[in-house]
Amino acid sequence: MGGGWRRPDALQAFLKEPDPKAVAETLVAFANTDGGALLIGMDPEGRAVGVDPQEVEDALRCALSQCRPPVKTRWEQGEVDGRTVIILHVLRSPELHSLADGRVLIRRGAENRPLEGREIQQLAATKAVGDHEAEVVPGAGREDLDEAMIEEYVSKREARQRRRISGTVEDLLVEIGALTPDGRPTVAGILLFGKQPQRFLPQSGMVFVKFPGVGLQGEGGLPGYARREEIGGPLARIVERAWEVVWEEMQLGAVVRGLEREERLEYPPFAVREAIVNAVCHRDYRLRGRRVEIRKFADRLEVISPGGLPGHITLDNIVEEHYSRNPRIVSGLFYWGYIEELGLGIDRMIEEMVRAGHPQPQFQETPYSFTVTLYNRQERPPIPAGEPPMNERQLKALQYVREHKRITNREYQQLCPGVSPETLRLDLADLVRRGILLKIGDKRGTYYILK
């Protein structure tokens, strides 16, 4: 094992010492979310401090006794910078796991967060539908996987984690859920590496449609569209081609700042890419006859993903929380480089849209679809590139203002319990300084609206 591990995140946790309680909490959180790797003998900065394998074995035995039901793990021992490190690999479980004290945890960023009653019910309902991406694809064999795509993935994964992959390629494909132990391709395997994925899973393609106006009509008000593209192939290629098509159709504008002319795209590139990647990653591949759709209108871009929100995710917590319907696909595209940091895409999408002077993205859910809408109208001047990004509290405040037209200091404190009033006051003052919010009134009568 080489050095250079990333810092803790949604798929990776570090423990300096094998504390049974911390081990149990992390195993349960990984099993209930997207799976992950627990590295014992590493400090929070990703530096190896070493550990006694026997102590880890004892701690793991104690930790597993605290998990209900026990979490399945795979043990790996190696050396980092000459020190012994133990890695416990955990896959996302089709069962709901809790601790002996009744707590149900999920992985949120680099932390393990306990769920509350309704969230537990939502997560349990999702677990009950099974693990579709791990199912075997009828009629598919090992020969239906593209060796070039596999080689590309291995290369990008090694570059991202900055270490060589030990073991054979076949072992890796089994470990990431692309193949079953007896060598049969799974849904995730065909979607990530298949030569012709749509031959087996026709619903896995994508459709791009451009309409010349703001409705589903062509020129002269007649039904029709200006462009239609059918996009297929493995998921990495779908993401690439979808981005190319949208890029070709995006208008290029310009603003003059001082004496310089600055070109600006119709939509922030990150926001568009994130909407596309999320639709590919999180759609429900069990739904046949429906593909991801990208609809480009004169005033907006819609990305429609088959399947409602997964797990405990709701429109209210979509910014703060993270849960994947397809963790193997998410992990694959993460190592491929299409996901920058797990769990932070939605808030950065909002940030990029607001920074560009556009309205925040709109999210709409039905039981069978989830739609992200990006509007291209300018509501305010773009924020200068040197400005630091907004924090999660500020994004939450903007979402509240969008829904309720205004926000007071008291309402902001209710949105962010446990944060000091002075910190929240500075948050709102910063949004006023950026030209995003407008302060109305004085003292107790103060409230804020979108500028």
**Domains recognised in the chain with CATH numbers:** 12-116 (3.30.950.30), 142-200 (no CATH), 203-375 (3.30.565.60), 392-450 (1.10.10.10)
Q: Give the Cα separation of 90 and 35 in Å (integer).
A: 5
Closest CA to 32 of 312, 286, 283: 312
What pLDDT is recorded for position 186? 97
Q: How many residues does the chain have?
A: 451
What pLDDT is recorded for position 121? 85
Residue 56 Cα distances to 15, 17, 59, 61, 402, angstroms: 11, 8, 5, 9, 50
What are 429's two structure tokens?
């003052």
Q: Give the Cα separation of 417 and 410 in Å (integer).
A: 10
Angle at 274 between CA 271 and CA 278, to 5 degrees: 145
What are 40's two structure tokens?
């014992």
Whole-prediction pTM: 0.71
Contact 140, 200 (CB under 8 A): yes
Q: 70-80 burial, b if ≥16 CB within 10 A, otherwise e?
A: ebebeeeebeb
Contact 210, 225 (CB under 8 A): yes
What pLDDT is recorded for position 202? 96
Contacts of the segment 373-378: beta carbons below 8 A, 24+ positions apart: 373/300, 373/301, 373/302, 373/303, 374/267, 374/271, 374/272, 374/275, 374/300, 374/301, 375/299, 375/300, 376/251, 376/266, 376/267, 376/299, 376/300, 376/301, 377/299
Longest dimension (CA), the chain: 76
Tens digit of pLDDT per residue, the chain (451 long)? 544 456 788 889 999 999 999 999 999 999 999 899 999 999 988 889 999 999 999 999 999 999 999 999 999 898 888 899 999 999 888 889 999 999 999 998 889 999 988 888 888 877 766 688 999 999 999 999 999 999 999 999 998 887 888 889 999 999 999 999 999 999 999 999 999 999 999 999 999 999 988 887 766 666 678 889 999 999 999 999 999 999 999 876 544 444 454 567 889 999 999 999 999 999 999 999 899 999 999 999 999 999 888 877 888 778 777 788 898 999 999 999 888 766 667 878 888 888 888 888 999 998 789 999 999 987 766 766 666 778 878 888 888 887 788 899 889 998 888 888 888 988 998 888 887 888 887 777 788 987 7
Q: 110-139 burial, b if ≥16 CB within 10 A, otherwise e?
A: bebebbeeebbebbbebbeeebebbeebee
What pLDDT is recorded for position 46? 85
Q: Give the Cα separation of 181 and 60 in Å (integer).
A: 25
Residue 412: partners with Cβ closer than 8 Å, 6 or more residues away: 393, 397, 400, 424, 427, 428
Q: Give the Cα separation of 135 and 178 in Å (integer).
A: 10
Contact 120, 113 (CB under 8 A): no
Instruction: Give Rg (Cα) of the chain.
Output: 24
Q: Give the Cα separation of 293 and 279 in Å (integer).
A: 9
